[in-house]
Homo-oligomer: A and B are copies of this chain.
Amino acid sequence: MTYEIALIPGDGIGPEVVDRSLPVVEAAADAHGVSLETTRYDWGSDRYLAEGAMMPDDGLDRLRGYDAIFLGAVGHPEVPDHVTLRGLRLEITKGFKQHVCKRPSYLFEGVTGPLRDYGAGEIDFVVYRQNTEGEYADIGGREYRGHDNEVAFQGAMFTREGTETIVRAAFEAASEREGKLTNVTKSNAQAYGMVFWDDVLREIAGEYPDVEVERLLVDAASMDFVRRPDEFDVLVASNLFGDILTDLGAGISGSMGLAPSSNIDPTQTHPSMFEPVHGSAFDITGEGVANPIGTVLSWELLWAHLGEDALARELRAAVRAQLADPDAPRTPDIGGESGSEAVANDLRTRLG
């Protein structure tokens, strides 16, 4: 089977982790009889600084035909955040109805997480984050009625489609995993958006009688991530709460550098997009020490999404074996002294 993948390496360490991971992924694909055709798009902040736009006007159309999109990272010290966010990432996630952001957290053997009481495999959950709306809606403004009376307004919008799609994806995942779903909201303080969310969830819950639903407020959930992370399996949350929980999830699993992410259109009408959770990290760009594992694990998610389960498992097994080996190279974020290239080369030797 041949797959056409659009690569958008992006900013900062984005190109580094994509370029280091590619030989590993290609070797694994080869071994599984999977043929991978990549096309590279040099979109991102450098393009914005040179031409005034992160991607071309017909960017979405160019991406539409691919089987999947792989993104490195976006974000640049000289480009306003809302430009890097809205000019590329949100353009794609919204344009392609990638309502579902799926982010697993897993504490691997050989990685020392910050939590005293939890060891390998004891942190193993997946957050389903709403990916296209909610608190990230571009709604709001400021009213200047004299300096002392200025007010600012920020709006959040929740649609039936956007909410139902993420909630249903989470229920599907819960029924395939342990049959338990944790719904994270702040319905006690936010009586419109979050109560709507709860109502949609209650409606869909009726279709999944075997899934047990736990309800948690986002403050309590954050605390429980450090107190009882082993009790979570599948969580579902809004865009903002999912953002917070998945960074925290990466934190308790040892490093942001290990965390993978996927942006999925479950209807498969549009290509889905895969990327590591970490950002462009300009502080280490060019030093060759970015951890390529979050990227490799994002490729795992990509292949699983495309139905190439054996290939997905192979990539994961290589990562697992490397991390468990105390003599293997590792990058500084997980306590090692090696560079991205040494880690990637070592991963290749662990394939098949």
For the complex formed, measure the closest distance between the CB of A212 and the CB atoms of chain B, giving whole angstroms: 18
Let me know if A154 is at the binding interface, CB within 8 A. yes
- The residue that A188 contacts in the complex, of B81, B139, B247, with Cβ under 8 A, is B81
With A116-B116, A226-B226 known to touch, is A140 a contact of B240 (CB < 8 Å)? no
> Are B141 and A192 within 8 A (Cβ)?
yes
For the complex formed, measure the closest distance between the CB of A135 and the CB atoms of chain B, giving whole angstroms: 7
With A154-B158, A188-B85, A190-B154 known to touch, is A223 a contact of B248 (CB < 8 Å)? yes
With A82-B188, A138-B191, A191-B82 known to touch, is A252 a contact of B240 (CB < 8 Å)? no
Query: A interface, how many residues as a size bin?
Result: 35 or more
Q: Which A300-322 residues have C-beta < 8 A from chain B?
A: none
Among A82, A148, A195, A222, the most chain B Cβ lie within 10 Å of the Cβ of A222
Let me know if A60 is at the binding interface, CB within 8 A. no
Let me know if A136 is at the binding interface, CB within 8 A. yes
> Are B193 and A152 within 8 A (Cβ)?
yes
> Are B135 and A189 within 8 A (Cβ)?
yes
- The residue that A192 contacts in the complex, of B114, B152, B247, B248, with Cβ under 8 A, is B152
> Are B196 and A142 within 8 A (Cβ)?
yes
The contact string, 1 if C-beta is below 8 Å from chain B, for chain A 151-162, is: 111111111110
User: Nearest CB to that of A243 among chain B residues?
Assistant: B219
Let me know if A150 is at the binding interface, CB within 8 A. yes
For the complex formed, measure the closest distance between the CB of A231 and the CB atoms of chain B, giving whole angstroms: 14
User: Nearest CB to that of A256 among chain B residues?
Assistant: B223
Let me know if A167 is at the binding interface, CB within 8 A. no
> Are A227 and B188 within 8 A (Cβ)?
no
Task: Give complex CA distance A190, B90 in Å.
Answer: 13
Let me know if A220 is at the binding interface, CB within 8 A. yes
Task: Give complex CA distance A186, B197 in Å.
Answer: 22
- The residue that A222 contacts in the complex, of B149, B161, B247, with Cβ under 8 A, is B247
Q: Which chain B residues border A256 with CB–CB below 8 Å?
A: 223
With A190-B135, A191-B82, A240-B186 known to touch, is A223 a contact of B250 (CB < 8 Å)? yes
User: Nearest CB to that of A160 among chain B residues?
Assistant: B150
Q: Which A7-24 residues have C-beta < 8 A from chain B?
A: none
Q: Which chain B residues border A117 with CB–CB below 8 Å?
A: 114
User: Nearest CB to that of A115 among chain B residues?
Assistant: B114
Q: Which A197-254 residues have C-beta < 8 A from chain B?
A: 197, 218-220, 222-227, 239-240, 243-244, 246-248, 250-252
Let me know if A187 is at the binding interface, CB within 8 A. yes
Top 10 nearest A-B pairs (CB, nearest first) are A140-B192, A81-B188, A154-B193, A152-B196, A223-B251, A219-B247, A116-B116, A223-B247, A154-B156, A226-B251
